[in-house]
Chain A
Amino acid sequence: MNALLETVDARPATDRRRPPSRRRRSSIGHPRLTPYLFLLPTILLFLAFKLYPYLSAFWVSLTQNVGGVTAFVGLDNYIRLAQDPLFYTALGNTFLILVVQVPLMLALGIVLSVAFNSMLLKWRAFWRTSYFVPIVMGLVAYGILFRALFDSGDGIVNEMLGAVDIGPIPWLVDPFWAKISIVLAMTWHYTGQNAIIYLAQLQSIPGELYEAAQVDGANGWQRFWNITMPGLRPALLLTVILSTIGTLQLFDEPYVLTNGGPDNATLTIGMYLYQNGFRYFDFGYASAIGYALTLIIAVISLIQFRLFKEKTR
């Protein structure tokens, strides 16, 4: 498990060059075409369904459909995007969910993984399973389920809150609570997954470190901040970057849970792209949104990567 985790690191590919001795040996004994034959399906699929679509999307983003005819319009779509208040709404919503949900989920994940790793916890395997099981539920399925749970009129969540004299809370129909609903649903779905990733990393921290710290008189908090957190850093980097990329592309949850509403309060960039492309069939504009999203993801991932690198030094 730990080995698997360590493979998903983010080092540049050049760091992974194999030692020269192995390189010499593996080059004898097979025809030169062999590796290309093994790669043939991948190369064909990659060209047809990845590279071509990515390039094509850029071209499409420079065009507009005017009366059934595709016309080249240069950067018009991007200029329109820069002035589109709805795009900024989607951007704002997405970032708000990002800065609230991701830290919340990761913090809970860390706490959970430490608990799962603790000898003090009884029946550890059982609890681990129960926290992990939501991840198998498809996004649409859990969106539908949470929509029913959060139903403002007579959902079970409000029923339960009512039993302790709270609410009812207008979960899905109020702009503020609709965002909260999405944050809660996502946290329910993904926290266990992150906890498992952290747990794998925790188990690779040598127990002697904790013993030595205890001998030196470090208390629980000191051990957590000085041993556990630094030890978790590679897994943290991984989950921060992946959760960020995932959240920036958020689509399924708002589509099913709130359909972007009320009053666009849960409209995300992904939903806005979909709406323009497949509700209004404005392919040019949808593609421009896609490229804007790519740029945003690239910049943020780079910043996060830099920040974590700095701290590691």
Chain B
Amino acid sequence: MTDALVGVRGRRTRSLVLTTVIAAGSVVMILPFYWLLIATTYPSSEIFASPPNLLPGPAFFDNLSGLLTETLFGRAIGNSVLIASVYTVLGLVVCTAAGYAFAKFEFRGRGVLFGAVLVTLALPSQVTLVPLFQIMVTLGWLDTYQALILPSLAMPFGIFLMRQTMLAVPDELLQAARVDGAGEFRVFSRIVLPTVRPAIAALAIFLFLGQWNEFVYPLVVLRTPESFTIPVSLASLQGIGTTDYGQLMTGTLLSVLPILVLFLFLQRHFVAGILAGAVKQ
């Protein structure tokens, strides 16, 4: 039976069925978030109540103040904000500069260097876990911000994305600026960067999100709770013998909330970033 024969009524039924199925799936996707939200408003003893709580309770501020005074989670938030912000800014500088060189210049060793970038995209990062730890021990950098920020700044994917985007910038534009007497740095910062702004926004989100959620490498090079980032702090809260679930859930919510808000405002850029960088780092 072809669509034409099904007619308007069949179409309407199918539309209703499809929308209902997708809506049901959507509830499954959202439910964990909703449960998390509810869980943060109950004391630990009532989080796993039976029947389960479906409406908010009174304990959110108790959980929050407990989390911030009894644990070092507040410190972890500060660490994460600082590390992820600095990392994002520096990462953008490094990746855009490298992308520009690969996209717009002919030079000896370009093929080899770019090949190295592509190969590191596919290599498992876990191989470098032990040597990076040893490097940080040698440098005396355990528990430092630079230990987290520096190693992954030259992110292969970021360089790759910037190169691809800048390939599309017309050479004539650059030549015109050079003829007008602009220096190389000026051409880069005034002509190229503004032209690829959407890709830069996508990369910025990608860098920030990646660093914000990074777990195994910080787990290795951060030793004292004062230096923990949010994910490491959360994992350590969970590790404690008697976990205060109210606090743990509140911490979990705090780790997601800023990103969630950012996501709702900048959805388009998130999608572009994920599309461009569906790479699990």
Contact = CB atoms under 8 A, between A and B. Distances in A.
A226 interface: no
A30 B132 CA distance: 37
B70 interface: no
Given A141-B256, A188-B29, A159 B125 contact: no
Contacts of B120: 46, 50
A242 B94 contact: no
A56 B128 CA distance: 8
Given A49-B150, A159-B51, A249-B124, A141 B278 contact: no
A141 B252 contact: yes
A120 B18 contact: yes
A39 B278 contact: no
B185 to A, nearest CB: 9
Contacts of B94: 41-42, 45
A226 B109 CA distance: 44
A193 B271 CA distance: 9
Interface in A227-276: 238-239, 242, 245-246, 248-249, 251-252, 255-256, 270, 273-274
B105 A7 contact: no
A136 B134 contact: no
A18 B272 CA distance: 25
Interface residues of A toward B: which range? 35 or more
A140 B2 contact: no
Interface in A13-43: 13, 18, 22-23, 25-32, 34-39, 41-43
A273 B130 CA distance: 10
Interface stretch (A81-89, A99-107, A148-156, A172-180): A148-156
Interface in A128-169: 129-142, 144-149, 151, 153-156, 159
Given A42-B97, A193-B274, A301 B248 contact: no
Interface string B223-242: 00000001110110010000
Contacts of A36: 101, 107
